[in-house]
Amino acid sequence: MAITGIKGFNDILPGEVEKWQHIEATARRVFELYGFSEIRIPILEKTELFARSIGDTTDIVEKEMYSFVDKGEKAVTMRPEGTASVMRAFIEHKLYAQDPVAKLYYMGPMFRYERPQKGRYRQFHQIGAEVTGVTDPKVDAQVLTMLCHFFADLGLTEPTLQINSLGCPECRPVYRQALKDFLRGKLDQLCDDCKRRVDTNPLRALDCKSAHCKEATEGAPSVLDHLCAGCNDHFAATRRYLELVGTKYDINPRMVRGLDYYTRTTFELVTGLLGAQSAVAAGGRYDGLIADLGGPKLPGIGFAMGVERVALLLAAEEFRKRPDLFIAALGEEAQQQAFSLMTGLQRLGVSVEIDYEGKSLKSQMRRSDKFNSRFTLIIGEDEIARKTAGLKDMDAGVQGDVALDVEAIAAKIGK
RNA sequence: GUGGCUAUGGUGAAGCGGUUAACACUUACGACUGUGACUCGUACAUACGUGGGUUCGAUCCCCACUAGCCACCCCA
């Protein structure tokens, strides 16, 4: 039995990878339009970093991390998300000393030990962006607008933006208590999971899929009615700025975040097309995180999107590349000539394919067609003698002559 | 961690107790020995996830294991 890959760790094969490259290139292009710079962070971090940032009672930290002790007896973890690492780097390199406002993006694999299912894998990939040092709601609106811009540029209309505010350390505990009290009064109508949630994560009960729970929590208090004046103003201003620039959104006061560090603005891009995995991208403000990690008292906001999920939405599209030219050669001398021409053209930036094994012309034409090449150059004895070969436009099906010269061929095919 | 479903070639699959294990795609070669896409022909599973069992006989029934998928939990 041959060795297979690990459960939940997938290969991204040619044919699929072009889609990924397109997603990544689009993200780089759009994010850089908004002034973001890439940061590359390591895959392994001290376990403590995630315990402190994500929250040590969250499921991610309690049971989903790939953690181990390395040869130096250090407790390390393969990153389950990117924000914590970016903030650690921001603090460690004192980037705030240069400018407290940093706009950073990253992309790469994340690891969570969960049961794989559609749109969820043990090694998955995120593209994320973070802004530090700005409390002003303009930045909230900008981050959201950028995210929508990215999806629009991918040609996707599907994921829609939902926003909410979770309040701050001032007002959230008050709301949390009010919600707990409400849920306790409905305890007998809740599912078993929600009964448990009342104490562990009452907000999550608002997001329950059970019809009974949905009904029971219909009249539940809303976070938005419990925001303190500061948070309320912030949320209102965020909405105004979104409207100012025409970024469409829905308010979802029942939206919950899975990580402990979120404050104030939170958001998700949701779709109905991915089965149980409706969140394609999600994020929010984390005004306390940088200080919690031992950095200066600076606010932050960011998001991460699941690349696999974005790729699933793009499933219908075709991103396959096509070579500019295929050279079909007949005979030993022609094959040498073809190899030489190919290399010369490649040096000029023309993508070229040949047949390596000296097959029949028919066979080579078939191969050219299979590659979906734009042109095919046909060289045999006669052509070498005449120093002129046939150049066939594969889409139009018409053939002309071209001098057997790298520059001439490149010019003919428009390169 | 829990539950449901599924496991036949490179791929999609038919077959459901005794068959040459269908068909399609892909691949290779060929159709007046130098021209693709359409068409046609030929070739391509000693083999039906693994291990047991039932049976005269199992790809087809039963059990276990393993893997995959989907869902719960949780999350991007």
Does residue A296 reach within 7 angstroms of strand B, measured from its CB?
A: no
Q: What's residue A315's pLDDT?
A: 67
Half-sphere exposure in the Cβ direction for A272 (13 Å, CA): 0
In a shared domain, residues A52 and A163: yes
Does residue A56 reach within 7 angstroms of strand B, measured from its CB?
A: no
In a shared domain, residues A288 and A359: no
Query: Which of A 67-96 have CB under 7 A of nucleic chain B?
Result: 81
Is residue A194 one of the residues assigned to a domain? no
Q: What is the signed CA dihedral for A244, A147, A274, A271, rounded to 10 degrees?
A: 0
Query: Which of A 99-128 have CB under 7 A of nucleic chain B?
Result: 112, 114-121, 124, 126
pLDDT in tens, A333-384: 999 999 999 999 999 999 999 988 888 898 899 889 988 899 999 999 889 9
Of the three residues A261, A293, A313, the one that is the final residue of a domain is A313
pLDDT in tens, A44-79: 999 999 999 998 888 888 889 999 999 999 999 999
In a shared domain, residues A105 and A160: yes
Which nucleotides of strand B lie within 7 A of protein CB?
1-3, 27-31, 34-37, 67-76
Reported as a pLDDT band with limits 50, 70 and 90, residue A212 is confident
For residue A331, which nucleotide's C1' is closest to its Cα?
Answer: B34
Mean model confidence pLDDT for chain A: 92
Rounded distance between C-alpha atoms, residue A288 and residue A96, angstroms: 15
Query: Which of A 145-164 have CB under 7 A of nucleic chain B?
Result: none
Interface confidence, given as ipTM, is: 0.85
Is residue A201 one of the residues assigned to a domain? no
Q: How many domains is chain A partitioned into structurally? A: 2
In a shared domain, residues A350 and A269: no
Please check the confidence at residue A233 and state whether its pLDDT lies above 90.
Answer: yes
Q: Give A93's DSSP letter.
A: T
In a shared domain, residues A247 and A130: yes
CA of A10 to C1' of B47 (A): 29
Q: Give A91's DSSP letter.
A: H
In a shared domain, residues A108 and A133: yes
Query: Which of A 309-368 have CB under 7 A of nucleic chain B?
Result: 309, 330, 359-363, 365-368
pLDDT in tens, A124-151: 999 999 999 999 999 999 999 999 999 9
Share of chain A above pLDDT 90, in %: 67
CA of A22 to C1' of B14 (A): 39
CA of A328 to C1' of B30 (A): 19
In a shared domain, residues A309 and A352: no
Is residue A269 one of the residues assigned to a domain? yes
Indicate the pairing of strand A388-393 with strand A375-379.
Answer: antiparallel
Q: Are A301 and A101 in contact (CB under 8 A)?
A: no
What CATH number is given to the structural domain containing A376?
3.40.50.800
Rounded distance between C-alpha atoms, residue A103 and residue A132, angstroms: 7
Size (chain A), residues: 415
In a shared domain, residues A333 and A291: no
Is residue A11 one of the residues assigned to a domain? no
In a shared domain, residues A271 and A361: no
Q: What's residue A1's pLDDT?
A: 57
In a shared domain, residues A250 and A167: yes
Of the three residues A313, A335, A367, the one that is the final residue of a domain is A313
Is residue A188 one of the residues assigned to a domain? no
What CATH number is given to the structural domain containing A34?
3.30.930.10
Rounded distance between C-alpha atoms, residue A70 and residue A340, angstroms: 51
CA of A203 to C1' of B59 (A): 52
Is residue A2 one of the residues assigned to a domain? no
Q: What's residue A162's pLDDT?
A: 96
Of the three residues A293, A313, A333, the one that is the final residue of a domain is A313
In a shared domain, residues A256 and A398: no
Does residue A168 reach within 7 angstroms of strand B, measured from its CB?
A: no
Is residue A8 one of the residues assigned to a domain? no
Does residue A197 reach within 7 angstroms of strand B, measured from its CB?
A: yes
CA distances to A73, A200, A273, A335, A405 from A353, rounded to whole Å, are: 52, 60, 38, 12, 17
Is residue A383 one of the residues assigned to a domain? yes
Query: Which of A 223-252 have CB under 7 A of nucleic chain B?
Result: none
Domain that holds residue A104: 17-171+227-313
CA of A114 to C1' of B48 (A): 32
Reported as a pLDDT band with limits 50, 70 and 90, residue A318 is low
In a shared domain, residues A339 and A251: no
